[in-house]
């Protein structure tokens, strides 16, 4: 439900809310299968969500997201990677919990539910890709050549780089974390 409702949202806060609703479906499914899988999914979701939406918190609407690019290109590039991870694209961290949930569902013979859950997550992937596109690949029109950004304050957050790197590079650690939880 969260993926479908988030499709025509333009406010970052509403997109965050519907993203959480969509991930709650994955968490409830994981809870029915395995508590350790639920713990792993929740940990990865929290780390990735914090790393994704903290840099975007200065923008209120999707139209303002592209302006943030000039303030910190490195942070916004890593934000694009974590957005793709939240969408569950295969080489990134967010793919592994979804893959483990789908694997558990198919191993107990619930292939139909696995397929429905996978299809229901496609709209969420679409708005993550749209947000990543607006974040990094579009630039707002510029009427001045000055390097000073007078409209937006630079919101330097000291631990944001570490959180983004951890959210992006947790994929190799997933099997270890799943085995110990």
Segment 21-78, tens digit of pLDDT: 878 888 999 999 988 888 888 888 888 887 777 766 666 666 556 555 556 667 677 7
| Triad 73, 46, 91: Cα angle to 5° | 65
148 in a structural domain: no
* 60 domain-assigned: yes
Q: What is the number of structural domains in the chain?
A: 1
Residue 25 counted as domain residue: yes
Position 150 pLDDT exceeds 50: no
**133 — phi, psi (to 5°)?**
-65, -45
Q: What is the pLDDT of residue 125?
A: 84
| Residue 168 placed within a domain | yes
Domain presence at residue 145? no
Q: Is the pTM of this model over 0.75?
A: no
Kindly state whether residue 144 falls inside one of the protein's structural domains: no
| In-domain check, residue 181 | no
Range of 121's domain?
2-139+155-175
Question: Does residue 149 lie in a domain region?
Answer: no
Instruction: Tell me: pLDDT of 9 over 90.
Output: no
**Contact indicator for 161, 79 with CB cutoff of 8 Å:** no
104 pLDDT tier (thresholds 50, 70, 90):
very high
């Amino acid at each position: 439900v969260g993926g479908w409702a988030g499709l025509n949202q333009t406010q970052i806060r509403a997109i965050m809310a519907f993203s959480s609703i969509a991930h709650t479906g994955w968490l409830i499914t994981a809870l029915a299968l395995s508590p350790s899988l639920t713990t792993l999914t929740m940990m990865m979701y929290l780390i990735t969500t914090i790393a994704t939406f903290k840099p975007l918190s200065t923008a209120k609407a999707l139209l303002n997201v592209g302006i943030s690019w000039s303030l910190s290109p490195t942070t916004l590039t890593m934000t694009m990677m974590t957005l793709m991870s939240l969408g569950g694209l295969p080489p990134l961290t967010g793919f592994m919990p979804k893959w483990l949930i789908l694997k558990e569902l198919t191993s107990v013979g619930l292939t139909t539910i696995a397929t429905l859950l996978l299809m229901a997550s496609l709209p969420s992937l679409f708005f993550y890709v749209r947000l990543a596109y607006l974040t990094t690949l579009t630039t707002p029109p510029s009427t001045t050549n000055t390097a000073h950004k007078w409209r937006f304050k630079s919101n330097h957050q000291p631990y944001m780089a570490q959180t983004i790197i951890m959210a992006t590079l947790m994929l190799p650690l997933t099997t270890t974390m799943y085995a110990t939880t």
